[in-house]
Amino acid sequence: MIEAWTEELATRVRALRDAALAEPAGSARREAAERTGGLPVYWDAGGSLAITASGEIVEYSPEDDTVAVVRDPGWKRVALVKASERYKELHALRPRDGVRPCDACHGSGKIGPATCARCQGIGWLAV
C-alpha cells in the first residue's frame, strides 16, 4: 500500500478512474482501468501501472491478461512519479525525497527517441 494513503486520495483516484472508464472503447487507458479497477498512471508496450482506490499499485499485462500487485520499488516509484505528473489532483504522491535527476538522460526520460533504460523513462533515480 502507498505510504500515507488517505481517503481524500482514494476519492480522487475513484473520480479519475471513472473518467478513464468513460473514454472511447479501445483506449489503452480505459482498458487498463477496466481490468485493474484502478486509475492507469503509466503505460507502455509491455503493460500498464495503475493505482487502486485502496492505495495499491498494480500492473496490468495485456499480453497474458493478468493483474498483479507491484512489489518492485523502482516500478512503484515510476507509478508515483507518473501519477503526480499526469494528474494534478495526485500531486501529493510525488516522492519528496530519495530522488535525483537521472544522469543518463539528464532528467528527460529519453535518450534520442528511446525511453531511458536507466530510469525507466521517469527522468529520476532513487538516491
- Binding region for Zn ion (CB under 5 A): 102, 104-105, 116, 118-119
User: And the C-alpha cell for 103?
Assistant: 544522469
Nearest 5°: the CA angle 105, 111, 116 is 70
Q: Could you give the 3-state DSSP secondary structure of residue 79?
A: helix
Cα separation, 71 vs 109, in Å, equals: 22
Q: How far is the CB of 102 from Zn ion (least distance, A)?
A: 3
Q: 58 or 119, CB closer to Zn ion?
A: 119
Q: 47 or 123, CB closer to Zn ion?
A: 123
Cα separation, 106 vs 61, in Å, equals: 29
Q: How far is the CB of 100 from Zn ion (least distance, A)?
A: 11
Q: How far is the CB of 77 from Zn ion (least distance, A)?
A: 13
Q: 34 or 84, CB closer to Zn ion?
A: 84
Give yes or no for a contact between 118 and 125, defined as CB atoms under 8 angstroms apart. yes
